[in-house]
Amino acid sequence: FVRGASYPFILFIRSPHKTPSAGRLSLLAAGPLCVESMQLKYNSKVLVCLILAHCASTSLAASINKAKRSTHDFSTNLALDHSAPQDANSTAKSEWRNHLSLLSEDYLMQFRAVQRLKEATLEHGPLLCMLSAIGVAATLAWRRQSFSDKKKDLKAIPAAVQEAIESAKEEARAAWRKTSQNSHSLSLGELQEALGTAFEGLSFHPTSQSRFGLEDGKAQRQIEIFGENRLTPPERESPWVLLLKQTFGGIFNIMLWMCVACELVLALAMDGDDIVTPIVLSAVIIGSATLQWWTELEAEGMMSALQKMQASCTVTCFRLQREGIVERQVAAELLAVGDIIQLEAGQKVPADLRVLVCSDTTLVDNAALTGESVAEPRSSSAASAEVPLIEARNVVFSGTTVVQGRLLGIVFGTGDETILGQIAAKIRTSRTRSSLEVQIEHFVHLIACVAAAVGCLSLIANIISPHKRSLAEVLENAATAFFAQVPEGLLPTVTVCLMIASRQMAQRNVLVRKIDAVETLGCVGILCSDKTGTLTSGQMTATDFVVPVEEAVDANTANVVLRTSSVGLCVNSETLEERNLARCGILNTSAKPDLSSPGGYQGSPTEVAIMVGCQQVLGSENSAEIEKQYQPVFEIPFNSATKWMLTIHAKEDSKEYTSIIKGAPERVATLCAMDSDMRVSFEATLSTLMGQGKRVLCFAHRTLSEPEDGSTFSGSGPEDANFPMDGYTFAGLVALEDPPKVGVVEAVRTVAAAGARTIMVTGDHPATAEAIAKRIGIVPAKEDLEEAACDYTIVTGAMLESHLPSIDDFRPQQLEKNESAAVLEFWQCCVSETRVFARVSPMHKRAIVRAYQQIGGHVVAMTGDGVNDAPALKEAEVGIAMGIRGTEVAKEAADIVLLDDDLSSVVLGIEQGRLCSENLRKSIMYTLCSKLPQVLPTFAELIGIPTALTAAQVLLIDIGTDIWTAIAFAWQPAEGDLMLRPPRHPQRDRMVDGSVLGYSYGYIGVLQSVACWGVFFAVMPHMWTLFVQQKHSSEYSAEDSLADYAGMTAYYWTLVLGQVGAAMAATTSRQSTMTRWMPNPWLSLCIVLEIVLAMAVVMWTPLQQLFKTHHLSMFQLVAGSVGFFLISSSEELRKFFLRWKESK
């Protein structure tokens, strides 16, 4: 009795666990105890005490039981798992066993104490109950305070044990990877042994005798080993780190920050007087970087929102418990390897599954993974080990969709271990550099050489100049000459150009994730496009009805011929034959009404397309009436052996039945009564339709009476049917296809006019791909192709596989070195002649992109929506994913996402990219025009010419006027012929090349210099006098100083107006400026403000004192416009000559 009463104290002192649910469990135990107490005839007080004691002991027992289970699971799963090598981590295992043995002894003592407490309670009655209750109440509060440290010690896992745990997990994962590659060929017994999942009584409707599924404990252990069922997201840098990279990274930014540093050193360390310039330039750099950072951050935010909208939902999962099978809804992320789940039509497959049970008509859409546009059937039979996993019919893969039927499948791959996850892991590589990065790097190298040369020459000129200056002045002039050659406005102009293009594309439902991809899109010479969902609608559609009609030969004779009509022309048809065929299509179907699905029906794409097409012919009201009149009484489902489906319908108010059969034309035709002429016409029409890449189904019907024995209809084919299955009347053919999207033909034509080629790259059948490619203009007519080109117009994946280089390098010199001449010739012909690549794998698509890049030297854009497109999307200079049909892997790999899946938006992107590149080129040309007249005064001082331009005035032109006008070029609209030019190649056709430097320095720069020096000497006569006198500035009188200031002002004013003329001239490359009296509004505003600022510097006294200027007379102000008129007239003559030359 004393031992039993003391056990509660021992229990609560030693227990290291708290169980929140234990209290609830103890209350559930009170019910049976009440019944037991009534049988023992305890009074009410005794009953209360007994319940208290039993609740305490039950609660404690539940806590102990849970702790024991968790300890057993923990040790079994992690450190002591039987799959781990027996000789590995022996020290860690021994340490962990000792750790667990202490816990086990503790739990065993507690368990025994509970049992003795229960026995003592029943034996000794109320007194022990009261003692137990008091003991429980006292120790509950005390144990928390006394043993918190002990709990922490017990929860801690030794470091060696943790290493052993991780090692065991990795070994388990590696072992299963090898097994999972043969999941399709394993028998159910082998699967059960490998995964530890029960398979007894597999069925869509489990009974009390069924025991299949994974136990909850095993499921949790599998998740601990393999992780949750989600793809590992790509590593993303902190937004603030990205901002720092945008601000201080890149060779051009580094060059600008060097200018800022030089200006700050001159201003702070050498008593310079210009602190404004470095501040303004710093603000320009930071502002440009922030704009680009914010734009890309917005795009990533839209991408994240898109991913959340398309988050996966729950699936039906069968778990095994002691009571039997439990059917529950489990989030897709919490599925474990070995789980058995059920999928219905319309559901997305959440993991890689081996099919265990499926209906006869189960179809799966694998377009996202393989590019195949036609849904493929699935079966539960084990496949041969020689069949590749990706081609097995008893496997469904993560990311695909069940379109018809239902299935039970066992999970054998989750998260990164799925086929989808493996492809996603392969594309986590560095991206191909954009053409803009290449162009900016080339320009910076070029301008850095020019600026460094000018800076050094200026330094030498200032040192040897007869006008002696202090060291600070010499360095300031040299730094100013260097700084003057750097186009400070380039960075913000690039950012604003790209932002404008990005915003305009966003209005067309195009999400630009990588902002400089817009400019790269303008350089694209090859547009590789997936077929299904990109060039086509992605939905099967009934296109043609073929019906037999009588055609009169003479007054007494008529022949039966086949008439082909477009479904679009048969809407609400009154023709008997077409309505009869539509009636057959309405009645013989496995599609079910579902308003939430496309077309209003749920089922295979083929069934839905036939239903929608037949409804168009009959009208929705007539369709419903037909379905009401003909009630289905028997059905033989479609199967791959017979290739047809049969239904029998009882007609309202009639004893006759109508049998309708639908299926493969060659199979159904054998069951029909046809004469020889009819059969020839049938085969010719069928050949024509299939030659167009269409799928064709045949319909036939006949009238039946009740079976002679009075039973119901039965059978599965002609061999065992209890009704006749011959002599059917041919009703017609229905042709179906995945039709081209609206606007695709125009988009392909526009891309061709722009000098680029559209190439179809698909996993679909070659005949289907060729038919669609011909219709949308990708494949030209045979008469337009050379004989040699015809052999390579359509290339299959098998041909690619046999010619893949041994190393992943398609450079011609490497192919010549490492491969045969046939391999090099094959790929050269593919790059120059091929228009369609069919039956290709994901790695084939990547190889195609690399071949166009390295052999053809093209800039490649790749569009796609499936997982199979992701490697190629990553490899291409511009990856374009579909927003609606696209998988998350494809979107993550892409630079641009088409939110409405409209390919014509890509054409807009190409135009925007070209406009962006054109405007950047114009902006750079304009900015460089003033560099020659800015630097010449420094060297003119060597021959005694008075100072024509101070460093402050140079910086005023660059920072105060030129930079803002240069940015305004970003808003310049396109010239009319922008999309009629061939694409610019970033390696061969540089954005800044010799022609740009020649235009800016050798043409406009010279004209500006002539105008500036002409005004300087001719309009300001004192300047010539000072030059002839060869006076040093220190020898100037007050009158000479004023004359010098007036001369500098005239030079500055003429240069500003010359830059206005250069800005107007640069707005067009060939078109006359007179056709656009005003450039874009922002550029017009900047020009006006530039003139206003220059007038203020010339006329306003505070600015005169700051920049050493002097007011000019009206004549002198008008004379300063000579540069504007000289440049404008010269440019008009040059552009006229160019247009005349092109017209010739």
pLDDT value at residue 273:
61
- CA dist 1048 and 1091 (Å) reads 17
Chain CA centroid to CA 957, Å: 45
Segment 205-256, tens digit of pLDDT = 888 778 888 888 888 888 888 888 887 776 667 788 888 887 887 767 777 7
pLDDT value at residue 893:
79
Residue 1002 exposure: Cα atoms within 13 Å on the Cβ side: 6
pLDDT value at residue 119:
56
User: How many other CB atoms are there within 10 angstroms of residue 764's CB atom?
Assistant: 26
pLDDT value at residue 516:
79
Segment 340-362, tens digit of pLDDT = 999 988 888 989 999 999 887 78
Strands (E), 856-995: 860-864, 878-882, 896-898
Strands (E), 624-728: 630-636, 644-651, 657-663, 695-704
Cβ atoms 66, 18 nearer than 8 A: no
The stretches in the chain having pLDDT less than 70 are 1-165, 234-236, 251, 270-274, 276-277, 295-296, 298-312, 368, 370-374, 426-434, 466-467, 488-491, 552-558, 595-599, 621, 709-710, 782-790, 1032-1034, 1076-1078
**Burial category of 979 from C-beta neighbours within 10 Å (exposed 0-12, middle 13-18, buried 19 and up):** middle
Q: Which two tokens stand for residue 1037?
A: 């009188």
Q: Is the model's pTM score more than 0.75? A: no
Handedness of CA 195, 197, 199, 204 (dihedral sign): negative
Greatest Cα-to-Cα distance within the chain, rounded to the nearest angstrom: 135
pLDDT value at residue 467:
67
Residue 340 exposure: Cα atoms within 13 Å on the Cβ side: 31
pLDDT value at residue 147:
42
- CA dist 760 and 862 (Å) reads 10
- CA dist 1060 and 277 (Å) reads 22
